[in-house]
Amino acid sequence: MRRRRVSRVATISMHTSPLDQPGTGDAGGMNVYIVEVAKRLADLGIEVEIFTRQTARDLPPIAEIVPGVSVRHITAGPYEELDKGDLPGQLCAFLSGVLRTEAMYDPGRYDLIHSHYWLSGQVGWLAKERWGVPLVHTMHTMAKVKNLLLAEDDKPEPAGRVLGEEQVVQIADRLVANTPTEARELVDLYGATPGRVAVVSPGVNLGVFRPGSRRAARHRLGLPRDAHVLLFVGRVQPLKAPDVLLRAAARMIAQRPSLRRTLIVACVGGLSGNGLSRPSYLSDLAASLGIEDVVRIVPPAPQPELADWYRAADVTAVPSHNESFGLVALESQACGTPVAAASVGGLRTAVRDGVSGVLVEGHDPHDWGRVLTRFVDRPAWRDALSAGAVNHAAAFGWSATAARLSEVYAGAMAHLHRVPIAVSC
């Protein structure tokens, strides 16, 4: 009889390492998710081994994050960063490294596979068939959803990714969705079996992201005490729409020139995706809008410094065209800073409209400027949202996420779903 107790999980994150700094390249909320969940699973007695592609020659074969959580670097292609569009060509090399690792041990080393993003799902598919264990998969983003909500200057996801996602949905024993909305998208757009889709909300590190003194945070960051700070955190690419914030700020200043003396638009993050082809995009846009004097472009920051940016801000803007959840919104709220977020995808769950922040329909800079101006003009209203933000975020701890995932794992172990499909590499 198959064991129902999960002792060791093989987590697959091919295209981005959990050791990378979130906010640049392909590193983002998924990296945070994988690391934080792995730590909490280890606390529950479930060992996690994370397989990722080696991107530097000096990386060790195995790196321990904490006891019970390790990262295995698999050689697949050149060490330097590859564009995600080139990674499908390295699937076989990466899979070979994963299978060789398991072969070094006695049979049954891994009880279950948890893959993240569709490329990892392809690897998990074949490893599942070889090892005879369940596959749990988390999409994080989906091509069909992204293509329905493209930014004006963004490129659609290719047909190969759509097909790859459809295959993973068919073969996975369990699909983990961040929100009920994502669960419906898996069923409606990909034909997933409802009984194999589980909703598990991501969390936030409430020990790092917590309320604190705005004045002290501004002092540490070198920001004026009386500034009005509008904050963007994330990868600089069309999907995340930082241009919406800059255009909204330009409208605010045009309507009230005196704001120029106190307004600061801080963009914390690095280039990613299509944004890599335009490295000076934000600074060029700020210059073209005539607001280069109020825009500060800041490189990705480690979590303690990032928490200070949240505390220092009057409001965090999340104008993304799509988000499967929106960890930035949750981190900001946990620090006591309300959020103005696009009313899309998982942001409708991450932000409680009118309580912890404001959901904005569409991406019209005029609408965004009007909402952001309210945060400047109505401090009492902003303070009420701040209190609501802390209370809302408190319900999203990573320990609860890990506990729910462990239940999903146990269900997958107890009801291994097999679909006989011929696979080749």
Q: If you write DSSP's letter for every residue of 307-320 in order, what string do you get?
A: HHHHHH-SEEEE--
What is the rounded distance in angstroms from the CA atom of residue 368 to the CA atom of residue 325? 20
What is the rounded distance in angstroms from the CA atom of residue 335 to the CA atom of residue 30? 20
**Same structural domain, 12 and 129:** yes
Query: What's the token pair of residue 240?
Result: 């995340």
**Same structural domain, 390 and 408:** no
Question: Tokens 């606390």 correspond to what residue?
Answer: 43
**Same structural domain, 192 and 242:** no
Averaged confidence pLDDT in the chain: 91
Whether 308 has a pLDDT exceeding 50, the answer reads yes
Cα–Cα separations (whole angstroms), residue 116 to 26, 233, 320: 13, 22, 21
Helices (H), 4-155: 29-43, 91-103, 118-131, 143-148
Asked if residue 195 lies in contact with residue 174, where contact means CB atoms within 8 angstroms, the answer is: no
- Among candidate residues 193, 178, 194, the one with its CA nearest the CA of residue 145: 178
Query: What's the token pair of residue 173?
Result: 């024993």
What's the pLDDT tens digit per position in 72-125? 999 988 877 667 777 888 899 999 999 999 999 999 999 999 999 999 999 999
Residue 425 in domain: no
Residue 136 in domain: yes
Work out how many domains the chain is built from and give that number. 2
Q: State the number of CA atoms in the 13 A half-sphere of 53 facing the CB.
A: 27
Question: Tokens 């409001």 correspond to what residue?
Answer: 315
Asked if residue 242 lies in contact with residue 282, where contact means CB atoms within 8 angstroms, the answer is: yes
**Same structural domain, 240 and 98:** no
What is the rounded distance in angstroms from the CA atom of residue 337 to the CA atom of residue 392? 11
**Same structural domain, 334 and 413:** no
How many CB atoms neighbour CB 419 within 10 A? 8
How many CB atoms neighbour CB 233 within 10 A? 27
pLDDT at position 3? 47
What is the rounded distance in angstroms from the CA atom of residue 247 to the CA atom of residue 102? 51
Query: What's the token pair of residue 45?
Result: 């007695």
**Same structural domain, 67 and 188:** yes
Q: In this predicted model, which residue has the larger pLDDT, 325 or 354?
A: 354
Point out the annotated binding site. Answer: 15, 21-22, 26-31, 84, 117, 141, 161, 235, 240, 310-311, 313, 323, 331, 337
Q: Give the DSSP letter of residue 156.
A: P
- What's the CATH number where 184 sits? 3.40.50.2000
Handedness of CA 73, 123, 24, 213 (dihedral sign): negative
Angle at 182 between CA 25 and CA 36, to 5 degrees: 50
**Same structural domain, 351 and 410:** no
Residue 254 in domain: yes
pLDDT at position 333? 98
**Same structural domain, 168 and 250:** no
Asked if residue 95 lies in contact with residue 425, where contact means CB atoms within 8 angstroms, the answer is: yes
- Among candidate residues 98, 102, 154, 144, the one with its CA nearest the CA of residue 121: 98
What is the rounded distance in angstroms from the CA atom of residue 280 to the CA atom of residue 290? 15
Whether 347 has a pLDDT exceeding 90, the answer reads yes
With a CB cutoff of 8 Å and minimum separation 6, the contacts of 100 are: none
Whether 301 has a pLDDT exceeding 80, the answer reads yes
What's the pLDDT tens digit per position in 244-270? 999 999 999 999 999 999 999 999 987
* 3-state DSSP assignment of residue 236: strand
Residue 41 in domain: yes
**Same structural domain, 149 and 22:** yes
Residue 421 binned pLDDT confidence (cut-offs 50, 70, 90): very low
Residue 66 in domain: yes
Question: Tokens 């409680």 correspond to what residue?
Answer: 352
**Same structural domain, 245 and 368:** yes
Domain interval for residue 284: 214-394
What is the rounded distance in angstroms from the CA atom of residue 74 to the CA atom of residue 186? 30
Asked if residue 320 lies in contact with residue 239, where contact means CB atoms within 8 angstroms, the answer is: yes
Q: In this predicted model, which residue has the larger pLDDT, 172 or 281?
A: 172
What amino acid occupies position 35? V
pLDDT, mean of residues 300-327: 94
Residue 121 in domain: yes
Residue 3 in domain: no
What is the rounded distance in angstroms from the CA atom of residue 117 to the CA atom of residue 115? 7
**Same structural domain, 116 and 258:** no
Q: Which residues of 107-128 are buried (b: 16+ CB within 10 A; e: fewer)?
A: eebbbbbbbbbbbbbbbbbbbb
Point out the annotated binding site for Mg(2+). Answer: 310-311, 313, 337
Residue 49 in domain: yes
Backbone angles phi, psi at 48, to 5 degrees: -125, 125
pLDDT at position 28? 64
Name the pTM for this structure. 0.87
What is the rounded distance in angstroms from the CA atom of residue 96 to the CA atom of residue 127? 10
Please return the burial class of 370, using the count of CB atoms within 10 Å of its CB with bins 0-12, 13-18 and 19+.
middle
Point out the annotated binding site for UDP-N-acetyl-alpha-D-glucosamine. Answer: 21-22, 29, 235, 240, 323, 331
**Same structural domain, 405 and 390:** no
Residue 180 binned pLDDT confidence (cut-offs 50, 70, 90): very high
Point out the annotated binding site for 1D-myo-inositol 3-phosphate. Answer: 15, 26-31, 84, 117, 141, 161
